[in-house]
Amino acid sequence: MFEILLDATVRAGTPILFATLGAIINERAGIINLGIEGLMLIGALAGFAATQASGSLLLGVLAAFVAAMLAGSIHGFITVQLRGNQIVSGLALTMFGIGITALFGRSMVGLTIAGFERVAIPGLSKLPVIGKPFFNQDLLIYFSFLLVVVISLFFYRPRWGLALRTVGENPAAADTCGVPVILARFMAVTIGSGIVGIGGAYLSLATTPMWIENMTAGRGWIAVALVIFASWSSYRALAGAYLFGGITAMQLRFQAMGTTVSVHILQMMPYFFTILVLVISTIRLQKGASQQPENLGQPYDREDRK
Amino acid sequence: MHMTDLLQIQNIRKTFPGVVALDDVSLSIAPGEIHTLLGENGAGKSTLMNVLTGLYRPDRGELLFDGSPVHFSSPRDSLNIGIGMVHQHFMLVPAHTVFENILLALDGVANFFSRRKYKVKIQQVLDQFELDLDLDTPVWKLSIGAQQWIELIKLLVRDCRLLILDEPTAVLTPQESARLFQVLTRLRDQGKSVLFISHKMREVMEISDRVTVLKKGCSLVTLPRGEYDENRLASLMIGEDQIPMWIKPACKYEELALEIKNLSVRNDRGLADLDKFSMKLYRGQILGVAGVAGNGQKALAEVLTGLKEASSGRILAKGKDITNSTAKSSYIAGIAHIPEDRKSIGIAPDMTVDDNLIMKNFNSRAFRRWIFQDRAAIRKNATAKIDQFAIKAGPDGNPIRYLSGGNIQKVIIARELSEKPSVLVALYPTRGLDIGSAEYVHKVVIDGANQGMSTILISEDLDELLKLSDEIVVMFRGRLVGCVNPQTTTREEIGLLMSGEVQR
């Protein structure tokens, strides 16, 4: 019973995990990206369409990454190069994503593909309790584990990671050290967006191998909130994503058990918790526990006269 | 001579929309010299620095480095040929460690680098200059003085040949400044060149090999050591032969204006910004507050003007308890405030001079008719103030951000003093101002004292404090560590108190 619940937790948490990781990369470079929901949808549709056409799941994931990256580069260009308003541009990106996927997804409705299948890792999957939920999963889930570690190492080990964090904290300092601020920010936005796209593709290639209009159902917004909950750390993003995965799994379980509580109330739970998490994290932020990049949301203009 | 110059600046011009920041600047810097740049605010010093470090691209003119023309399209280009700068606003990331801050400035570091190797390398530079810094400490935990050393180390690890320092002593104790000058002199003797910017005449006289005076975006003259003295430089800068000196009356210590008892204030990190701080301020007194920036001066000013709440202790104005009253009721109790950051706290930059002048009493009957603004009255008030305080306000309806720092400060003073306050809290009121504007601020403070206004003058300029104050108190880590008489004290004594080494 617990094993099944944990398994469902990981599967429900993974798309949110990818999206949160992508958003963290954006925000570490100082750019707020509210286009996550739209980027996930674009990733979901591109992934599904590519797999449907080619029969290859790998190509699907790749297509999701590239499509979301291209869409994210619009946000990058507007906010980094043109120094536009990050909130407005991000919201527009989400609406763009919802609209364009509804339009091009129409012909995909009702088609099916063979989605990701479980691959048991020999040895590890035999572990009691955590064996099956964590090590008898599909390849994308293993990839997400890897990504959590790689992103954390990237932030703290190589010089590029240091440059990326400095660009988000104090772009002028990075600039005077010779870091190409504009390029670094743009790269962070596009690559981060691509990873968000993989989160979307997980929905259409693994969770339910089909295309449904607006299938992300607000998961992108949960990811935006989780970035703050995770204080911009990839490990805490993992914990946060699984917390939400757990709530989703639990409410599905309750529905299956046929409780008398209204389905609508149960379905509301993840979103209700998002609000709760935001309140708690904001209070923590105000108490000074912040890891928030200092220049988050601020455009950088070298010739700005201060 | 010209062949051996390290850097030649030829006829540089830089304009911003509507403003000529640099008109025609030429000067040269020889290898192994300390060259000082003097000029009023708005003379173009910062713009010139930003051109030299590749932040701004000049409209016209040429830079020759080692005799060959150079063009900078980014700070990276200027760093690569060996020009580095310590900015007035530090280019540091407070959340990162000392090591991370310095490492990013290092050239030729592989993407996957060995932490140990570079720690050793940076430690060597620190040892060479006998600096005691822990590489793994996050920068925000360090004093401002220590942060400045990090900025300098960032340039030294890169082997910069020309070091530019923009008012580096503004945040240092006299002892720390002396230490900095020792290091700069040593660097000069090693053949490095230093371009030094300062407002403090004493330092200019002490350290410069040559001085160039900038005025209204033009380089006026370059003088070698021996051909200038303080008066000559001051008159070149502001174009007057006489700097007026103001005579201040002695305080009578009769009537108590303000009393602070055991006041403590906690900051966002939960640490004490003010720690059981007590002092007395008398009517007509000018009380100087000395201390290295960041030792609680800002908290003192903010708690007195109602911007921050005290966690314990009391503030009494004329015997009335005003602790934790809001900004408005403190104002009614008669406390005016000249804030530290005049551009972000003192004014609303995009609003007009007229509007900025009535911000404190916009709701007064004098400026409104029923619920509407009385534009005519507001305009009349502005004309009178502009006249009275000699503000160069530009055309009517001009947003205040287009004014120079000195004129913005005059607007703030005009507004704050308009209600005849009994107490003025002035936080670094002359920071970044040229001599003429600074003198004007001094005059206002002294005039106020003559009419019975008490002033808490928080400043980092010891000359200013010694000249104006009736009494000087010294702050260290939020505590009052000493109280000295400006007539009998020495700069060294104040310096020791500021560094927290002694208490009195």
Say what the pLDDT of residue B130 is.
Answer: 87
Show which of B186, B207, B238 is a domain's final residue.
B238
Number of compact structural domains in chain B: 3
Say what the pLDDT of residue B269 is.
Answer: 62
Whether B293 contacts chain A with CB within 8 A: no
Residue B1 banded pLDDT, cuts 50, 70, 90: very low
This complex has an ipTM of 0.88
Does A305 score more than 60 pLDDT?
A: no
Q: For the residues A179-193, what does the mean pLDDT come to?
A: 97
Say what the pLDDT of residue B457 is.
Answer: 94
Q: Tokens 């000392």 map to which residue?
A: B98
Nearest CA in chain B to A156: B100
Residues on chain B touching A159 (C-beta within 8 angstroms): 103-104, 109-113
Which domain covers residue B113, as residue numbers?
7-238
Selected residue with higher pLDDT from B342 and A112? A112
CATH class label, A2-304? mainly alpha
- Condensed to tens digits (0 to 9), the pLDDT of residues B137-162 reads 999 888 888 899 999 999 999 889 99
Interchain proximity A177–B100, CB inside 8 Å: no
pTM of the entire predicted model:
0.82
Mutant choice from A27, A167, A177 vs B, greatest count of B C-beta within 10 A: A177
Residues B67 and B144 grouped into a single domain: yes
Mean per-residue pLDDT of chain A? 93
Residue B189 banded pLDDT, cuts 50, 70, 90: very high
- CB–CB contacts below 8 A, A to B: 82
Residues B424 and B481 grouped into a single domain: yes
- Condensed to tens digits (0 to 9), the pLDDT of residues A117-151 reads 999 999 899 988 889 999 999 999 999 999 999 99
Residues B133 and B195 grouped into a single domain: yes
Whether B93 contacts chain A with CB within 8 A: yes
**Lowest-pLDDT range, A31-35, A78-82, B59-63, B328-332?**
B328-332
Residues on chain A touching B105 (C-beta within 8 angstroms): 177-178
Please, are residues A201 and A46 in contact by the beta-carbon 8 Å criterion?
yes
SS3 label, residue A274: helix
In a domain, B498, yes or no: yes
Whether B98 contacts chain A with CB within 8 A: no
Selected residue with higher pLDDT from B321 and B6? B6
Nearest Cα to Cα of residue A170 among B349, B269, B140, B270: B140
- Condensed to tens digits (0 to 9), the pLDDT of residues A36-80 reads 999 999 999 999 999 999 999 999 999 999 999 999 999 999 999
Residues on chain A touching B93 (C-beta within 8 angstroms): 165-166, 169-170, 173, 294
Chain A nearest CA to B53, separation (Å): 8
What's B440's domain CATH number?
3.40.50.300
Q: Residue A112: CB partners within 8 Å, gap ≥ 6? A: A209, A210
* Rounded percentage of chain B residues whose pLDDT exceeds 70: 93
Whether B287 contacts chain A with CB within 8 A: no
Residues B63 and B142 grouped into a single domain: yes
Strand-pair category, B471-476 with B19-29: unpaired
Residues B414 and B424 grouped into a single domain: no
- Condensed to tens digits (0 to 9), the pLDDT of residues B389-432 reads 888 887 887 888 888 777 888 899 999 888 788 889 999 888 77
Residues B122 and B187 grouped into a single domain: yes
Does B240 score more than 60 pLDDT?
A: no
Strand-pair category, B479-484 with B471-476: antiparallel
Q: Could you give the C-alpha distances from B348 to B193, B343, B392, B394, in angstroms and in order?
A: 40, 8, 17, 17
Residues B283 and B397 grouped into a single domain: no
Quote the longest CA-to-CA distance of chain B: 73
**Can you give the residue ranges of every domain in chain A?**
2-304
* Rounded percentage of chain B residues whose pLDDT exceeds 90: 34
Phi and psi at A124, nearest 5°, equal: -60, -40
CA distance B430 to B440: 9
Q: Tokens 């380089």 map to which residue?
A: B219
Residues B67 and B188 grouped into a single domain: yes
Show which of B418, B437, B461 is a domain's final residue.
B418
How many other C-beta atoms lie within 10 A of the C-beta of residue B348?
13
- Condensed to tens digits (0 to 9), the pLDDT of residues A248-277 reads 898 888 888 877 888 888 888 888 988 898
Say what the pLDDT of residue A79 is.
Answer: 97
Chain B nearest CA to A176, separation (Å): 5
Say what the pLDDT of residue A89 is.
Answer: 97
The beta-carbon neighbor of B91 closest among A170, A287, A305 is A170
Interchain proximity B92–A173, CB inside 8 Å: yes
Residues B265 and B233 grouped into a single domain: no
Residues B172 and B28 grouped into a single domain: yes
Whether B408 contacts chain A with CB within 8 A: no
Spell out which chain A residues touch chain B, with contact meaning CB-CB distance below 8 angstroms: 157-160, 162-163, 165-166, 169-170, 172-180, 286-288, 291, 294, 302-303, 305-306
Whether B53 contacts chain A with CB within 8 A: yes
CA distance B223 to B206: 14
Q: Which 201-230 residues of chain B touch chain A by CB within 8 A? A: none
DSSP A13-80: HHHHHHHHHHHHHHHHTT---TTHHHHHHHHHHHHHHHHHHH--HHHHHHHHHHHHHHHHHHHHIIII
**Lowest-pLDDT range, A3-17, B5-19, B96-110?**
B5-19
Q: For the residues B243-257, what does the mean pLDDT come to?
A: 72
Residues on chain B touching A163 (C-beta within 8 angstroms): 104
Does A214 score more than 60 pLDDT?
A: yes
Say what the pLDDT of residue B331 is.
Answer: 57
Residues on chain A touching B89 (C-beta within 8 angstroms): 306
Helix or strand run (H / E) with residue A205: none
Q: Could you give the C-alpha distances from A210 to A39, A41, A108, A109, A217, in angstroms and in order?
A: 17, 13, 8, 8, 15
Q: Where are the alpha helices (DSSP H) in B218-374?
A: 230-238, 297-304, 327-332, 353-357
Residue B333 banded pLDDT, cuts 50, 70, 90: low
Residues on chain B touching A177 (C-beta within 8 angstroms): 75, 79, 91, 104-105, 154
Residue B241 banded pLDDT, cuts 50, 70, 90: very low
Chain B nearest CA to A161, separation (Å): 9
